[in-house]
Amino acid sequence: MAKKSGRGSNRATPSSYDFGGSWSPSEIELTRRTARKARNRKSALIAVLSSFLVLGTLGLVLVTSPGWETLRNTFFKWAYGVEILPKILLGFTTNATLTVIAGTSVALIGLAIALLRTSRSPALTPFRLLATVYVDVFRGIPMLLVILLVGFGVPALEIKGLTNNVLILGTLAVIITYSAYVAEVIRSGILTVHPSQRAAARSLGLSNFQTLRHVVLPQALKRVTPPLLNDLVALIKDTGLVSILGVTDAVRAAQIQTAKTFNYTPYVMAAIIFLLVTIPLTRWTDRMLRNSYERENAVGQA
């Protein structure tokens, strides 16, 4: 994995393209380069033209359609949107906090469950069984149901000392569900580390735990970082589901505004706020995924 090159950076890397002597491209290479440049210019031109044509037509159809005025007034009333924006932003801080708290807990719990499920220690057998059941169950239930069950079900128990705070209960439900997803992702990462890596570590005298800590986990986590980031994006969105419990997050704040005016612009505003966070994260994940794919392939050819 060609990442940063440790101490003293690349002092060992020879300037690999310097073959000494003064090379200048041959006639045939120059022709090739000119041809390549011309081809690239043509591709770019075609891309721009077709984009204008397609998007322009779509826009025109939309704007000239008979319902456009109503549509704009119901969903895209910008002045109104800006007016209620602070309320929705305030609601979004709940989503953000929830993401941070749930995200951290999920990472830790998911990792613990993944380790438990991949361990072979006989003493842990009952826990391994429980973990398997847990993962199977919570990966198979819609999260909305878990939120309803925990958010409304736990207070119904009327147990003293247990919180009735819907925000805490909602967060708990999110953590329970996502830990099951994330555990599976991490576990699959651990399983993809080749057994020979383990054998090499053990033959060096590393203990089981040291092998896990220094050899298996670093490689596994690196491999599952892109899918985990995907889960993070999903988590950010899904924090909106706790609004069903009455938690005033961005979704609920928008709902309250919409209920007052019967105008749907607050929903659109909330959507835009979510997009502003999730789209950069998605792009970044995409790039990481592409990079790691290219790296693995480069290793294959080495």
Partner 1 sequence: MSHPVLQLDKVRKSFGSEVVLEDISFTVLEHKATVFIGASGSGKSTLLRCINLLDQIDDGQILLDGADISAVDISPDQVREKLGMVFQSFNLFPHMTVLENVILAPTKVQKVAKDKAIDEALELLKKFGLNEKADQYPDRLSGGQQQRVAIIRSLARHPRLLLLDEITSALDPVLVNEVLSTVRDLKSEGMTMVLATHEMGFAKQVADELCYLHQGRILESGEPKKILESPKKSQTREFLRRLHQAGRL
Summarize as ranges the residues that interact with partner 1 (CB under 8 A).
Answer: 1-3, 5-13, 196-197, 199-207, 210, 214-215, 218-219, 222, 298-299, 302
Q: How far is the CB of 147 from partner 1 (least distance, A)?
A: 38
Q: For the chain, how far is it from start to end, CA to CA, in angstroms?
A: 11
| Distance, CA of 226 to CA of 52 (rounded, Å) | 33
Residue 249, phi then psi, degrees to nearest 5: -100, -170
Is there a contact between 300 and 7 (Cβ–Cβ < 8 Å)?
A: no
Q: How far is the CB of 204 from partner 1 (least distance, A)?
A: 4
Residue 182 is given by DSSP the state H
Q: How far is the CB of 2 from partner 1 (least distance, A)?
A: 6
Q: How far is the CB of 217 from partner 1 (least distance, A)?
A: 10
| Distance, CA of 242 to CA of 281 (rounded, Å) | 22
On the 0-12 / 13-18 / 19+ scale of CB atoms within 10 A, 26 is exposed
Of 72 and 295, nearer to partner 1 (C-beta) is: 295
Of 198 and 237, nearer to partner 1 (C-beta) is: 198
Of 79 and 302, nearer to partner 1 (C-beta) is: 302
| Distance, CA of 240 to CA of 186 (rounded, Å) | 25
Of 9 and 22, nearer to partner 1 (C-beta) is: 9
Q: How far is the CB of 127 from partner 1 (least distance, A)?
A: 24
Which amino acid is present at 199?
Answer: A
Of 12 and 259, nearer to partner 1 (C-beta) is: 12
